[in-house]
């Protein structure tokens, strides 16, 4: 830096000052004032002097008798304040600094530097003399320049209170020079930087540009502005106002570590490289919950990245992401403790009762209802019970014990379309009155591990009735054998498919001991047997074919007439016809009784 000096006041009549010797004419360099150095934030350049050259302030040698034509010297014009007025100049108000160039935005490139904060009249500035000095002389000059600079900033700017409301010299914000900025200007810069914030991260050749939202970064604009405005204020004046003392201010931010960790892992770490926490599963063979072991893995070092982001890394050059061993969030020991506790609690019986029937819920069902949720943050496992699944499983689980599905009644139809009788009797069913409430109570009992003995209410379900055609072998001429007992006509007919073989009058059961309507099959044949029941005993009954319990087709020797109702439920016929029936019919053949 070339330093501008005040020239000695000219003395009239001194030829040395009016016509300087060409040999002693100083070299002229571009003018850089301390004020401009402060504004630009760059160090001043001082050309060192050699040993054989005199200091800039030394008295020039007398001129030779013969005048020598001096080389022309270009001196930058300097405005001087009127000598008549010796009032101090007002506080320094520097022009707005262009951040990109560090130069006053509205000043011409060749504008002369001024000492705006000086309280005395500014004298003309002599051209800077370029000399070659020794190292000691250079150090002296540099020290003088710094001292002058500190004196200028301390007495000029500080006295004018400029930097009490503007950013100190040498201050950068996230790498951007903001020397001399006002608070409003700093806020504009911070707002722009945070709005367009993007950091570059790299791992193993994979590079990504991430936004603040990606990284879980939130900015504190007010604190950043405050830090920029107060940069260097804790330092001594020589450091605070020294533009060569760099004051780097980062963007103040907070980082959501969880979101950052997720982003880094999702971006840089493959799923099969991540750790696997221990889990709990139901083992149907052992009828208990067992542990599925954990496995360590790899994850991004989010803590280090968060610190580096807060330090401003990743903005100009990629920030290298490190990896670290990811321990399983849930250890085998932690999972085993929960599995043991669950198994112990489920050893208690869980029982439902209704209408004298009971249902003990099996462990296989409980194994389907119970699940476990791991919390990586707290490294815990919680047992869950799926109430909705319990409610969905209850109808099938309870059917046949405390509830029943209704049985559809089937009416057998003859080949000619008439109703032969009930092939399958209908039966009303039952179902739980409040399945949702029962499911909720089961879930609560499983969670508490207290066991359960719960009476439940049921409601009746009506059965449906449907017509059923005979099997195909009965629907063709000379088809399968079957016997028709018509209670309305007191007759029995032998059929082969749709072909009627014979029809006879018979005695059917009396009203108190009826021959029940229905579809039956011969289940036993006996040629001769005593038959007895409440209030009767018939000895040596011939040609018996049982079809409905103890009701049978057989010969009847104690009746002389047929075609009426008077037996104890059997179908009696003359002995000769009973013999024909006995020889013709086989075990398994169809017997249909209807009205």
Q: What's the rounded Cα separation, in Å, for the pair 595 and 593? A: 7
Per-residue pLDDT of 65-115, as tens digits, reads: 333 343 343 433 333 333 433 333 333 333 333 333 333 334 333 333 333
**With contact defined as beta carbons under 8 Å apart, do 412 and 425 qualify?**
no
Stated pTM of the model: 0.47
Q: How far apart are CA 586 and CA 595, in angstroms?
A: 24
CB contact at 8 A, 33 and 157: no
Q: Taking 80 as the threshold, does the pLDDT of residue 49 lie above it?
A: no
Distance, CA of 32 to CA of 337 (rounded, Å)? 78
Higher-pLDDT residue of 460 and 6 is 460
Summarize pLDDT for 17-30 with one digit per residue, the tens.
Answer: 333 343 333 333 33
CA distances from 176 to 217, 249, 299, 499 (A): 20, 9, 34, 110
The mean pLDDT value for 519-534 works out to 94
**What's the confidence (pLDDT) of residue 158?**
45
- Give the mean pLDDT of the chain: 79
- Find the mean pLDDT for residues 534-551: 94
The per-residue pLDDT for range 337-367, each reduced to its tens digit, is: 999 999 988 888 999 999 899 999 999 999 9
Q: How confident is the model at residue 393 (pLDDT cuts 50, 70, 90)?
A: very high
Intra-chain end-to-end CA distance of the chain, in Å: 130
**Would you place residue 175 in the very low, low, confident or very high pLDDT band (cuts 50, 70, 90)?**
confident
Give the model confidence (pLDDT) of 316-334 as tens digits: 899 999 999 999 989 999 9
81 in helix, strand or coil?
coil
Residue 294 — very low, low, confident or very high, per pLDDT cuts 50/70/90?
A: very high
With cut-offs at 50, 70 and 90, classify the pLDDT of residue 237. confident
Q: What is the pLDDT of residue 119?
A: 32
Give the integer Cα–Cα distance in Å for 150 and 15.
37
| Average pLDDT value for residue range 125-151 | 39
pLDDT (mean) for 185-213: 96
DSSP designation for 44: P
The fraction of the chain above a pLDDT of 90, given in percent, is 62
When pLDDT is cut at 50, 70 and 90, the band that residue 253 belongs to is very high
pLDDT band at 488 (very low <50, low <70, confident <90, very high): very high
Question: Between residues 178 and 418, which one has the greater pLDDT?
Answer: 178
The answer to whether 542 touches 578, Cβ cutoff 8 Å, is: yes
Rounded CA-CA distance 406/393 in Å is 18
Measured CA to CA, the distance from residue 563 to residue 186 in angstroms comes to 119
Nearest to 211 by CA among 252, 175, 263: 263
Helix (H, G, I), strand (E, B) or coil at 394: helix
Please state, in angstroms and rounded to a whole number, the distance separating the CA atoms of residues 59 and 279: 93
* Average pLDDT of span 31-58: 38
Q: What is the pLDDT of residue 535?
A: 86
Query: Tokens 């047929």 label which residue?
Result: 562
Q: Which of 371, 230, 253 is nearest to 314 (CA)?
A: 253
Q: What is the reported pLDDT for 317? A: 92
Could you tell me the two tokens for 582? 């006995």
pLDDT digits (tens, 9 = 90+) for 309-320: 999 999 989 999
Asked if 277 and 336 count as a contact pair (C-beta separation under 8 A), the reply is no
Q: What is the pLDDT of residue 595?
A: 87
Q: Give the model's pLDDT for residue 454.
A: 95
Q: Which residue has the higher pLDDT, 26 or 541?
A: 541
CA distances from 408 to 370, 413, 466 (A): 36, 16, 7
Query: What is the C-alpha separation between 409 and 468, in angstroms, rounded?
Result: 10
402-443: per-residue pLDDT in tens? 999 999 999 888 887 888 888 888 999 999 999 999 999 999
């Amino acid at each position: 830096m070339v330093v501008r000096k005040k020239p000695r006041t000219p003395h009239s009549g001194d030829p040395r000052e009016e016509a300087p010797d060409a040999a002693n004419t100083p070299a002229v360099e571009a003018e850089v004032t301390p004020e401009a150095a402060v504004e630009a934030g760059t160090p001043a350049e001082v050309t060192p002097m050699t040993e054989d050259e005199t200091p800039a302030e030394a008295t020039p040698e007398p001129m030779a008798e013969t005048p020598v034509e001096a080389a022309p010297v270009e001196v930058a014009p300097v405005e001087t304040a009127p000598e008549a007025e010796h009032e101090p100049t007002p506080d320094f108000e520097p022009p707005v600094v262009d951040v990109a160039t560090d130069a006053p935005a509205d000043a011409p490139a060749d504008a002369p530097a001024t000492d705006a904060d000086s309280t005395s009249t500014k004298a003309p500035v002599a051209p800077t003399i370029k000399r070659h000095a020794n190292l000691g002389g250079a150090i002296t000059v540099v020290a003088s320049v710094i001292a002058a600079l500190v004196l200028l900033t301390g007495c000029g700017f500080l006295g004018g209170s400029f930097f009490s409301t503007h950013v100190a010299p040498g201050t950068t914000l996230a790498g951007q020079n903001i020397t001399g900025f006002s608070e409003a200007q700093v806020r504009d810069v911070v707002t722009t930087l945070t709005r367009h914030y993007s950091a570059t991260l790299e791992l193993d050749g994979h590079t990504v540009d991430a936004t603040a939202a990606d990284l879980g970064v939130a900015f504190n604009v007010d604190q950043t502005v405050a830090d920029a405005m107060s940069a260097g204020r804790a330092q001594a004046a020589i450091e605070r106002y020294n533009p060569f003392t760099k004051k780097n201010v980062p963007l103040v931010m907070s980082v959501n570590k969880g979101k950052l960790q997720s982003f880094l892992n999702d971006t840089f770490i493959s799923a099969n490289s991540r750790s696997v926490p221990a889990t709990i599963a139901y083992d149907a063979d052992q009828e208990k919950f067992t542990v599925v072991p954990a496995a360590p893995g790899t994850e991004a070092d989010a803590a280090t990245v968060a610190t580096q982001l807060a330090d401003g890394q990743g903005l100009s050059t990629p920030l290298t992401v490190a990896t670290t061993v990811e321990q399983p969030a849930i250890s085998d020991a932690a999972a085993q403790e929960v599995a043991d506790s669950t198994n112990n609690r489920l050893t208690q019986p869980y029982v439902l009762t209704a209408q004298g029937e009971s249902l003990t819920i099996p462990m296989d069902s409980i194994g389907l209802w119970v699940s476990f949720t791991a919390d990586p943050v707290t490294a815990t496992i919680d047992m869950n019970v799926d109430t909705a699944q319990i409610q969905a499983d209850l109808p099938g689980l309870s059917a046949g014990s405390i509830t029943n599905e209704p049985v559809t009644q089937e009416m057998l139809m003859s080949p000619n379309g008439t109703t032969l009788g009930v092939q399958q009797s209908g039966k009303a069913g039952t179902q739980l009155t409040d399945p949702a409430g029962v499911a909720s109570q089961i879930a609560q009992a499983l969670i508490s591990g207290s066991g359960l003995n719960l009476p439940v209410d049921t409601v009746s379900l009506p059965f449906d009735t449907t017509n059923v055609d005979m099997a195909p072998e009965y629907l063709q001429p000379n088809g399968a054998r079957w016997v028709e007992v018509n209670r309305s006509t007191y007759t029995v007919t032998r059929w082969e498919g749709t072909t009627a073989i014979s029809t006879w009058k018979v005695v059917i059961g009396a009203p108190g001991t009826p021959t029940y309507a229905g579809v039956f099959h011969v289940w036993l044949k006996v040629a001769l047997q005593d038959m007895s029941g409440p209030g009767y005993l018939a000895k040596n009954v011939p040609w018996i074919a049982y079809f409905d319990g103890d009701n049978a087709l057989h010969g009847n020797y104690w009746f002389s007439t047929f075609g009426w109702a008077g037996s104890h439920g059997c179908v009696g016929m003359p002995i000769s016809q009973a013999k024909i029936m006995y020889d013709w019919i086989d075990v398994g053949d169809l017997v249909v009784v209807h009205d």
